[in-house]
């Protein structure tokens, strides 16, 4: 079965979607849309996509698509998803799910009513190392999970001239910021491993608001968080701490430490080596290589490589007329969004928040 696919958003399509779709049986990329026609055309020419648009609504209106992949600023996720569903397409949407839980709820309700498959691109669920961790937790290899620490600290936003003027990642009104960009992945991973979140505390401040355009030097002001942190109390009792920064003086990487009553796990994104120690014993490497990493044409890194398995699962489910076996659905997207919203409420009101009480 051939699946006709349309993509909205050229940057991630160029880096991840299109290289990955070359390794998905039956995938036919019909059209791509971007805010800039130059970007859409360049991407289309490079990957042999027959149609390029600077108007995503026109693209949806002119093509009968089986699947629409959305990789645009967060502000556009809900309207683009709702429009694609209304045209009868299944949807893969980038993270964070939406601007808020109310939008995430509307996306889930529309997909359910339309009977379409829906997935949020939390590709870490398809990474072999993180899947191994999920399996070990489920099997009881770590015993009772007591606490989990995640740090993601970098310097890419530290220089006030590191971001261009008009950068949507630095614009809160567009849904930018570290909490959505990286925190959404961390929340989804924690929920996948440990179940639902009972309580949330945290904040998402702007540490370097005064910025300069890296080309012209013109001053501008960032409104989206460049640091985000949160603590979670899980429904099953485990405690979670997550700290993310883009404004440190040095890149310190992304590190995960998981502590159970029977053992400890550590994982670093820098080398993607997974280590496990049973209680009272030393650490042993249990790294799981990704077989897709050797596929030709893929860009390096877990984010780009893991998208292959994401798209194979989604396209396979569409072609076979079945439910998804793996991956984060819009239901997960709503649950994740409630946690992100709770972090913002906690930061503004200086209190612990129950995500289930976030209005959706």
DSSP symbols for 285-304 = E-----GGGGSTTPPSSHHH
**pLDDT tens digits, 144-190:** 999 999 999 999 999 999 999 999 999 999 999 999 999 999 999 99
pLDDT at 252: 96
CA distance 114 to 178: 32
Residue 246 near residue 158, CB atoms below 8 Å: yes
Tell me whether residue 331 is exposed, middle or buried, using C-beta atoms within 10 angstroms of its C-beta: 0 to 12, 13 to 18, 19 or more: middle
Provide mean pLDDT across the span 254-278: 97
CA distance 314 to 320: 10
CA distance 245 to 94: 21
Nearest CA to 56 among 90, 23, 30, 31? 31
pLDDT at 250: 97
Residue 6 near residue 65, CB atoms below 8 Å: yes
**pLDDT tens digits, 49-107:** 999 999 999 999 999 999 999 999 999 999 999 999 999 999 999 999 999 999 999 99
pLDDT at 214: 87
> Distance between the two ends of the chain, CA-based, in angstroms?
37
Helix 184-194 with 330-349: angle, nearest 10 deg: 110
pLDDT at 1: 85
**Which domains are seen in the chain, by residue range?**
3-124+304-329 (3.40.50.720), 125-289+335-357 (3.30.360.10)
pTM of full prediction above 0.85: yes
pLDDT at 281: 98
**pLDDT tens digits, 14-65:** 999 999 999 999 999 999 999 999 999 999 999 999 999 999 999 999 999 9
Reported as a pLDDT band with limits 50, 70 and 90, residue 309 is very high
Residue 360 has pLDDT above 80, yes or no: no
pLDDT at 359: 85
User: For the chain, where are the alpha helices, taking DSSP H only?
Assistant: 10-12, 18-21, 37-47, 56-62, 77-86, 101-114, 128-139, 178, 184-194, 302-320, 330-349
Nearest CA to 224 among 249, 241, 207? 207
Nearest CA to 302 among 95, 122, 123, 178? 123
pLDDT at 51: 98
pLDDT at 59: 98
pLDDT at 62: 98
Provide mean pLDDT across the span 290-303: 96
CA distance 24 to 142: 35
Average pLDDT, the chain: 97
Q: 159 Cβ partners below 8 Å, 6+ apart?
A: none
């Amino acid at each position: 079965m051939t699946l006709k696919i349309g993509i909205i958003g050229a940057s991630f399509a160029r880096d991840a979607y299109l290289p990955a779709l070359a390794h998905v049986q039956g995938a036919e990329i019909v059209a791509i849309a971007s805010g800039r026609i130059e970007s859409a055309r360049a991407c289309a020419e490079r990957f042999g996509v027959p149609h390029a648009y600077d108007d995503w609504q026109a693209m949806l209106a002119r093509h009968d698509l089986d699947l629409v992949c959305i990789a645009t600023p967060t502000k556009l996720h809900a309207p683009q998803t709702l429009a694609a569903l209304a045209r009868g397409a299944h949807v893969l949407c980038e993270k964070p799910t939406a601007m808020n839980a109310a939008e995430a709820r509307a996306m889930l309700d529309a997909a359910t009513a339309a009977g379409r498959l829906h997935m949020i691109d939390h590709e870490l669920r398809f990474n072999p190392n993180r899947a191994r961790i999920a399996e070990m937790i489920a099997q009881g290899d770590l015993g009772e999970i007591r606490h989990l620490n995640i740090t993601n600290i970098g310097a890419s936003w530290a220089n006030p001239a590191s971001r261009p003027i008009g950068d949507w990642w630095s614009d809160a009104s567009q849904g930018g910021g570290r909490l959505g960009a990286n925190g959404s992945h961390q929340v989804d991973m924690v929920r996948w491993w440990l179940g639902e979140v009972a309580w949330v505390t945290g904040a998402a401040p702007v540490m370097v608001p005064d910025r300069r355009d890296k080309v012209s030097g013109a001053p501008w002001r960032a409104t989206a968080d460049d640091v985000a942190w949160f603590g979670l109390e899980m429904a099953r009792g485990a405690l979670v701490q997550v700290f993310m920064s883009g404004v440190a003086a040095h890149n310190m990487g992304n590190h995960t430490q998981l502590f159970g009553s029977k053992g400890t796990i550590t994982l670093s994104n820098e080398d993607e080596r997974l280590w496990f120690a049973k209680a009272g014993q030393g650490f042993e490497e249990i790294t799981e290589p990704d077989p897709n990493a050797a596929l030709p044409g893929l860009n390096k890194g877990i984010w780009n490589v893991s998208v292959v398995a994401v798209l194979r699962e989604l396209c396979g489910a569409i072609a076979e007329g079945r439910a998804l076996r793996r991956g984060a659905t819009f239901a997960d997207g709503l649950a994740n969004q409630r946690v992100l919203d709770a972090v913002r409420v906690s930061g503004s009101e200086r209190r612990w928040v129950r995500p289930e009480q976030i209005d959706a």
